[in-house]
Every structure is written in C-alpha cells, then in structure tokens.
C-alpha cells in the first residue's frame, strides 16, 4: 500500500460472489479488507467473511513474519468482517480482542462462544502499540450500532469500518470509485445520514493522510473529494443536476409517456436517466434517485394499487430517507386510475419532497395532448 511504513494489507477478494448481503448484485465481486499494524505490539485490524478465512489467515501469517499478534481490533461485527475471528483466536490464543462493549457482546450472539481475552474501548480511548497509537471514535449506526472507527496518529490513517466502502473486488478496481461507492452508500448506509454527519464532524479535526475502509481501495489521494461526497450524500443533497425518470407498466403506454417527458427535458439541455423498474438493478435505481435533484415516477394502476415494482421502489426510497427532491408523477389506468394518487401519498410521507402540480394521466393509451402536458410538467420541474 502507498506511503505506509509499518501497516500491511492482509485482506482478500471474493470474485465468485454474485449477491452481496443476499440482495446487491456485485458483478466485480467484493473485497474484505483487513490490515496489520507492525510495531512493538502488533494489531490486526478486523477479520473477513467465512468464505475467505483460510486465505486471510495465510495473509496475516505472512505479514507477521514469525511474530505473534497482540490485538485483534474489531470495528464492526457484521459477519463479512467477523466470521474469521474465532479461527484467528484459535490460532493465536494469546490475542486480545478490542472493540466496543456492544461489538464484543454481539460476537457471542453470532457465534455462540466468548472470546478468552477482551478489551472494551469507548469514545476517545487510546491503544498504544509503540510508535503507533490508535484513538477510537464511536460511529453508531454507520451502519450498525456497535461500530467504532479508529485513527492511527503516526501514519495518519483512519480505519473507517464500512464508511467510505464500495462494491467490487480490488483485483477488478477501476478509476471510477464514485459509481460503486455511491450505490453502496445509499443502499447500505443511506438511511443513517444524520449519524454519518455526526461522524464526519468528529473526524474533521484529524490530520488524515489515508482512509482504510473494510470494502474497496485504500484512499490516499485527494481525500477532500471523498469527504465532500460523503458530506453531500449524508446530508441528502443532490450530487448532480438532472432528472431521474423511473417507470413501470404493462403494455407500453406508461413507458411511452415517460420517454416523451424525458425527450422534452433533454431537448431543454437537461441530463436525464430513464429506468425500467421491472428490468433494472433496484440498487442502481436507488442510487440514481439520490444522485439527481429531480425525479419522475410513472406507473400503471394494477389491482387498484400502484404497479408492484414502483410500489416496492418508492417504499425502498422511503426506507432510505429519500428527501429534498422535486418530483413529477405520471399515472395510467384504463377505467379507474389510482396510481398517481397513491404515489403522491407515499411521496408526501417523505421529507421535503416538492410534488409538481401537473400530473400526466394515461387512460390506457397516452393522452392526445401528451406533448402539451410534457411541456407543462417540464416547465415545473425545471422551475420555468
């Protein structure tokens, strides 16, 4: 790793994984990151997923060079970072597990055994390894309640738990960090923006040269960019100007209306992203909804309710604290269009959602004055 004198990377890639946490598509796999700080005393920072325990233990052994670790620091007890702890403790029985009280309690809940030697740390506690010293900061609900991040002062490294993580194995890493980091953030951490803001305030006084997350690459250049994106995302501000158009329907008429509006917006220079909710990666749709400052939701009425993929999508957005957006609605219904009213109801339950007065209604086919309605709705969305 760049610029590190006495910190070694011992994490692993899993390129065979198809779904992370049982629901997020990861075509480029996933990394499970772990680090070793080598000093008078040695600290191993976090474990890995059960699928990669053997490889991780081999990596740790190679980094140790015949020495024995003194501490295993547990920042996050989610199984993709804790499944290897028991095997590690069996191999190195003198090691002391370091973590928050809640993390160490969770270990027994997950694995049915206790750890032989434990050190409970709380906000502001320090752990000296010699030249290197760790200071711990509580990060509750980023994105689990037990999370602690730690700052190593000698090499100015933040061990950030799941913060600043991303989808993708390191062996498949590209230069476009933000794309998969954004999808990761809004789907996994996104609900907890207030808590992320609180953590960013704690970290602001620190002189950070590198960020070591539990997923994705070590960040050691242009850290202001990453911190700024996290500030934008966690405050629910739009990252980009543009309109996200999501639709779901049966026979193509709802799609036709959505595409007509997208074309009208694009003709005025607006950036537009259109998504068919029945065929997309839902996590990517959530990402795009949060990325742009405007959205349009177009759905058919089915069984007196909202077309299922749209109903599910809007409830996902609500669960992730979708807010501070200007939105338009397109509905369809052959004899009793209800989807518009019901979508409005769901959107009104979210914070600071400005719903445009013009709602386009399709009664089976698109209305004859669709062009006029699209122009009117586009005016409202663009603030004209």
How confident is the model over 199-245, as pLDDT tens digits?
Answer: 999 999 999 999 999 999 999 999 999 999 999 999 999 999 999 99
| pLDDT over 70 (residue 1) | no
CA pair distance 181, 178, nearest whole angstrom: 5
DSSP category for residue 1: -
Question: What's the whole-number mean pLDDT along residues 339-368?
Answer: 96
> Do 76 and 47 contact (CB within 8 A), yes or no?
no
Q: Are strands 35-37 and 7-9 parallel, antiparallel or unpaired?
A: antiparallel
Q: Which helix (H) or strand (E) holds 197?
A: helix 193-203
Give me the phi and psi of 21, to 5 degrees please. Answer: 55, 30
Task: Write down the pLDDT at residue 114.
Answer: 82
CB 138 within 8 A of CB 195: no
Residue 384 clears pLDDT 90, i.e. is over it: no
CB of 162 closer than 8 Å to CB of 189: yes
CA-to-CA distance for 79 and 134, rounded, in angstroms?
A: 23
Report whether pLDDT(172) > 60. Answer: yes
Whether the upstream peptide bond of residue 34 has omega within 30° of 0, thus cis, is no
Q: What is the pLDDT of residue 175?
A: 83
Domains of the chain in sequence order: 7-234 (3.60.15.10), 240-382 (3.40.50.360)
Q: Are 48 and 35 in contact (CB under 8 A)?
A: no
Give per-residue pLDDT as tens, 249-271. 999 999 999 999 999 999 999 99
The whole-number pLDDT of residue 2 equals 58
Q: Which of 174, 11, 15, 147 is nearest to 78 (CA)?
A: 147
Assign 24 to helix, strand or coil. strand
Residue 113: the pLDDT is: 79
pTM of the complete model: 0.93
Mean pLDDT: which of 107-121, 167-181, 229-243 is highest? 229-243
Query: For 87-99, what is the mean pLDDT?
Result: 95
> Using 50, 70 and 90 to split pLDDT, how confident is the model at 108?
confident
The pLDDT value recorded for residue 350 is 97
Q: Which of 119, 32, 121, 118 is nearest to 78 (CA)?
A: 32
pLDDT score at 200: 97
Residue 29 — φ and ψ, nearest 5°?
75, -160
List pLDDT tens digits, range 293-349.
999 999 999 999 999 999 999 999 999 999 999 999 999 998 889 999 999 999 999
Q: What percent of the chain has pLDDT over 70?
A: 99
Instruction: Report the run of H or E that residue 380 belongs to, with start and end.
Output: helix 370-382
Q: What band does 109 get if pLDDT is binned at 50, 70 and 90?
A: confident
């Amino acid at each position: 790793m760049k610029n590190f004198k006495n910190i070694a990377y011992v994490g692993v890639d899993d390129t065979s994984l198809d779904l992370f946490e049982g629901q997020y598509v990861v075509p480029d796999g996933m990394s499970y990151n772990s680090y070793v700080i080598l000093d008078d005393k040695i600290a191993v920072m976090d474990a890995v997923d059960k699928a990669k325990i053997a490889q991780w233990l081999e990596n740790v052994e190679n980094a140790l060079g015949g020495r024995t670790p003194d501490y295993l620091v547990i920042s996050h007890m989610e199984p993709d970072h804790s499944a290897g702890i028991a095997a590690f403790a069996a191999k190195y029985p003198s090691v002391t597990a370091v973590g928050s009280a809640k993390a160490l309690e969770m270990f027994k809940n997950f694995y049915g055994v206790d750890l032989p030697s434990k050190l409970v740390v709380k906000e502001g506690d320090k752990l000296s390894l010699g030249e290197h010293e760790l200071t711990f900061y509580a990060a509750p609900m980023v994105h689990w309640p037990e999370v602690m991040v730690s700052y190593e002062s000698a090499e100015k490294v933040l061990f950030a738990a799941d913060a600043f993580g991303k989808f993708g194995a390191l062996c498949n890493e590209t230069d476009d960090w933000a794309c998969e980091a954004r999808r990761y953030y809004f789907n996994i951490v996104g609900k907890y923006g207030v808590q992320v803001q609180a953590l960013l305030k704690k970290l602001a006084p620190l002189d950070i040269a590198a960020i070591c997350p539990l997923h994705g690459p070590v960040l050691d250049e242009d850290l202001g960019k990453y911190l700024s994106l996290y500030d934008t995302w966690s405050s629910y501000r739009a990252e980009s100007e543009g309109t996200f158009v999501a639709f779901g329907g049966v026979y193509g008429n709802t799609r036709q209306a959505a595409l007509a509006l997208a074309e009208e917006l694009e003709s005025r220079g607006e950036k537009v992203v259109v998504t068919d909710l029945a065929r997309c990666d839902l996590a990517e749709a959530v990402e795009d909804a949060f990325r742009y400052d405007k959205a349009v939701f177009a759905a058919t009425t089915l069984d007196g309710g909202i077309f299922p993929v749209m109903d599910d999508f809007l409830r996902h957005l609500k669960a992730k604290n979708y807010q501070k957006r200007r939105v338009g609605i397109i509905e369809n219904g052959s004899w009793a269009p209800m989807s518009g009213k019901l979508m409005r109801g769901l959107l009104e339950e979210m914070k600071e959602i400005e719903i445009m007065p013009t709602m386009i209604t399709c009664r089976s086919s698109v209305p004859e004055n669709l062009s006029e309605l699209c122009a009117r709705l586009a005016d409202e969305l663009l603030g004209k």
